[in-house]
Structure 1
Amino acid sequence: MKAVQVIGYGDVDQLQVVDIPVPEPKQGEVLVRVKACGINNTEIWMREGAYGTGKESGWRPEGVQFPRVPGSDVTGEIVSVGNGVKETMIGRRVILFPFTSSGADGEEHIAGDMSFIGSEYDGGYAEYVAWPADLCYDMPLDSFVDSAAFTVSGLTAWHMNEQIEIQSGQTIVVTGASGGVGSFNVQIAANVHGANVFAIVGDLKDADKLKALGASRVFSYRSDTLADDILEANGGPVDAVLDVVGDALFKTALDVLKNGGKFCISGSAGGQQTHLDFRTLYLKHITMYGSVLGTRAEFQAMLEAIKSGQMKPVVDRTFSLDEARDAQTYFKQRGKFGKIVLIP
C-alpha cells in the first residue's frame, strides 16, 4: 500500500511517500481502508521534536520509534477482520477512537500505558490501517471527510468543556477559535452547554463564520486593548477561558477571569513557556486545568452531538496523500479556518 512515513525529527522533508505491506489485523483487530485522515498539531510537533527527541517524545517510555506512519483522525471502511472479531463488521463505515490504554472507564486518557495512533502505532497517512475492533465507532456523518474533522480536536474540546463544568449563561472565552480545537470549543460551549462565547482570532474576516458556529462576539488578539475590550463587552470578568494558545494570551486570560474563574489549556501554539505570578492564582481563586484528549464515554457523547447537529464539521481544505508535505506546511500557515484533511 501507499503510505507516508516520518523517518526522523526535522522539517517536512522527513515525510516520505513509501510502498509498504498492508498491515494484517491481529487478534481483536480490524483492517480499515482509510478514506480520510485529518491533520493535527500533534503529528507535526512530533516530527519537529517539540515534544522532545528522546524518551519524552511519545506516550510510551521508549519514545517515538521511526519510521512511523502519522495520522490520528481516521475514517474509513472495514474490509477484513482478525481472529475473535465478527465478520459482520466488514463493510462498516467507521471513525477510530485515537488511542489504546488499560485505564478504567473515565480514566483512559490518564493511564500510564496510553498509546496513540500515529505516534505509538502506525496511523492514517496510509491507504490501510489496522486497529482494535472495539475502538471503531460508526461514522457520525455520511461524509468520510466531514467525519474525519472531529476525532482528536473534537474529543479534546469536549473534554476541555467537561473539565470546567460549564453552566448555561456563563461567559466563556475561547482562544485560537479559527482552528480545529478552538472552533469546536465555540460550538460545544455555545450549542451544547448554552454558554455566551467570546471567540479570539487573529483576523476578524472569520467573525461571521464564528458567529454562525455559536460565538456571540469575536475579538482579534492583535488589539492592544484586548483585555479591556472583553471586560467591556461582558460588563465585567468572564467565567472561564478555554485556551490553545499558551504564552501569547496567558496574561490576558488571567486578567479577564473573575474571582473563582477557571482556565483550561490544551495547546501552546503561541508559546510553550510563560511567566506566572502565583499571587494572581491564589488572590483570584483561579482553578487551572491541563487537558488533552478524553474518555470513550466523552467520545460517544461527542458523536451523538454531531449526529444531532449541535457540532458541525469545519473543513478548510483537502490534500491527497502524495501532498502530505504541502498539507503540513499549509496547516502551519495563518489565515486558515477549520481542519485540513488528507484523502488517500
Structure 2
Amino acid sequence: MDLPEFMSAVRITGHGGPQVLELAEVPVPAPQPGEVLVKVSAVALNNTDLWTREGAYGRPGAPKTLSGWRGPIDFPRIQGADVAGRVVAVGAGVTRSLVGRRVVVDPAIYDTEGPEANPVGLMGSERDGGYAEYVTAAAERAHDMTGSPLTDDQLATLPTAYGTALGMIERGRLQEQETVLVSGASGGVGLALVQIARARGARVLAISSGSKIEAVREAGAHEVIDRAGDIPQQVRTAAPKGIDVALDVVAGELVGEGLPLLREGGRWVIAGALGGYGVAFDVRRLYLHNAQVIGSAMHTPRHFDLLMDLARRAQVQPVIAATFALNQAAQAQEELSRRAHVGKIIMHPGIPLPARSER
C-alpha cells in the first residue's frame, strides 16, 4: 500500500501539565532493519503517560527530580505505550508475510535478549510511542493477534496494565487456592490483577470504594474491601488466616498497615505508588515471618508471551471506560487523572470522535 508522507501525532514538548501536549504533523517513521511499521487502530492510556508527562518518576538519590520512566527524555516525545493495529510495512530482514497482520506491540525496551530480560525503557518515554497514526516496533515485539476474538480497543488495553499485572502475579508466585489482596482494584492494572488472579484459581480480595465496588466484583473479586473503611480489619474478617500474596499498586501507608496481614512466607508485590513512595514498616514483620517485599516493573518477554496466549483465547475481558480521538489527548489524560472511571481509556487516531462512555 502507498503510505502517506506525514501523520498526526501527539507529543510532549517538556515536562508539565496538559498544556505540554502538542498535536503535530510529523513524518511517518520508516521501519529500520528488523522493524515493522504499524498503523495504529487504538492506543490505551496509562498512569505512566501522566507521570512521564509530569516527570514524576524521579531518579536514584533524587526522588523529586523531573524524569521520564527511566531517566531524561528527549523532547519532543510522542507518548503512548499501548498499541493495537495492523502491520503495513516491514524493514530489511523482516518477512513480508507480517504485512496485514493484526498485532499488539510489546512496548518494553529490554536490557538483554532472552525470555527473562528486564524492561529498562518504555515506548512513549524512552522512544516514540503510539499517540500517532503510525508507529515502528521491533518485529519480535509485534505479536500476531489476528485470530483473537478481542476487539482492537480491548487488545490495546493489554500491554502495560495486563503486562504489569501478569508480571506481578508471576514474580509473586501466586498459586491456585491462595488468597490474594489487590489494591487499586478499579484501575487498569487493578482490574487486570483481579481477572488474572481469579483465572489462576486464587481467592481474590480487592480494595475499592464507592460506585466502583460492584464493577470490581463483576470483574471477579470474591470479596471487595471498602477503601473508605478500616482496611486491615476488613481483611482480617474476610481472611482470618491471612493473605498469601498482596498485589499492590498503591503503596504508601498500605504497606506498613498490610504487612502484618501476610501469612508465613507471604509475598507483598509492589508495582506503583499511587498512595505515596515514602513507605515505613516494621522490619520484624519481614524476617520473623519469612515474608518478602518484591518490586515489579512491568513484565518480561516470557510474561508477555503468556499474556498474548490468554488474549488469543479471550481468557481476559478488558473493560473499556471511554474513548477519545487523538486530538482529544489532553481531555483523555484529564479524565484519566480524575480516577472516576473503571477500566481503560482508549484513543483512536484519525477522524475526531466525541468522548463516550462504553460501560
Letter matched to residue 48 of structure 1: E
Distance between the aligned counterparts of 2:69 and 2:330, measured in 1? Answer: 24
Distance between the aligned counterparts of 2:254 and 2:76, measured in 1? Answer: 36
1:69 and 2:74 aligned = no
Alignment match, 2:118? 109
Superposed counterparts of 1:85-234, under 5 Å: 85-109=94-118, 114-139=120-145, 140-191=148-199, 193-203=200-210, 205-223=211-229, 225-234=230-239
Please state whether the residue corresponding to 2:41 is helix, strand or coil.
strand
Distance between the aligned counterparts of 2:309 and 2:155, measured in 1? Answer: 12
Match of 1:268 among 258, 262, 273: 273
Deviation string 1:83-122 (CA, Å, 9 cap, x unpaired) is 1122221111110011233524233225xxx332111111
1:57 and 2:63 aligned = no
Distance between the aligned counterparts of 2:9 and 2:143, measured in 1? Answer: 23
CA RMSD of aligned residues (A): 1.8
Alignment match, 1:299? 304
Moved more, 248-257 or 324-333: 248-257
Superposed counterparts of 1:9-88, under 5 Å: 9-52=15-58, 57-58=67-68, 63-88=72-97
Residues 6 and 141 from structure 1, CA distance in 2 versus in 1: closer, same or farther, beyond 3 angstroms? Answer: farther
Displacement after TM superposition at 1:69 (Å): 0.2
TM-score using structure 1 length: 0.93
Number of aligned residues: 337
Match of 1:341 among 322, 326, 346: 346
Distance between the aligned counterparts of 2:274 and 2:283, measured in 1? Answer: 23
Distance between the aligned counterparts of 1:257 and 1:48, measured in 2? Answer: 34
Please state whether the residue corresponding to 2:338 is helix, strand or coil.
coil
Distance between the aligned counterparts of 1:211 and 1:219, measured in 2? Answer: 10
Deviation string 1:141-173 (CA, Å, 9 cap, x unpaired) is 441111101111111100111111112111100
Residues 104 and 78 from structure 1, CA distance in 2 versus in 1: closer, same or farther, beyond 3 angstroms? Answer: closer
Displacement after TM superposition at 1:56 (Å): 7.9
Identity in percent = 38
Displacement after TM superposition at 1:60 (Å): 6.0
1:328 and 2:333 aligned = yes
Letter matched to residue 101 of structure 1: Y
Distance between the aligned counterparts of 1:118 and 1:287, measured in 2? Answer: 32
For the Cα contact (< 8 Å) 2:55–2:68, is it kept in 1? no
Displacement after TM superposition at 1:80 (Å): 1.2
Deviation string 1:45-64 (CA, Å, 9 cap, x unpaired) is 01111113899834666x21
Distance between the aligned counterparts of 2:153 and 2:240, measured in 1? Answer: 41
Displacement after TM superposition at 1:190 (Å): 1.0
Distance between the aligned counterparts of 1:316 and 1:142, measured in 2? Answer: 16
Displacement after TM superposition at 1:206 (Å): 2.7
Alignment match, 2:258? 253
Moved more, 207-216 or 331-340: 207-216
Moved more, 177-186 or 225-234: 225-234
Displacement after TM superposition at 1:220 (Å): 1.3
1:236 and 2:238 aligned = no
For the Cα contact (< 8 Å) 2:270–2:296, is it kept in 1? yes
Match of 1:317 among 316, 322, 325: 322
Distance between the aligned counterparts of 2:251 and 2:280, measured in 1? Answer: 11
For the Cα contact (< 8 Å) 1:248–1:270, is it kept in 2? yes
Letter matched to residue 199 of structure 1: A
Please state whether the residue corresponding to 1:20 is helix, strand or coil.
strand
TM-score using structure 2 length: 0.89
Distance between the aligned counterparts of 1:106 and 1:92, measured in 2? Answer: 23
Superposed counterparts of 1:272-287, under 5 Å: 272-287=277-292
- Consecutive unaligned residues of structure 1, counting only runs of 5 or more, are none
Please state whether the residue corresponding to 2:78 is helix, strand or coil.
coil
Distance between the aligned counterparts of 2:37 and 2:314, measured in 1? Answer: 29
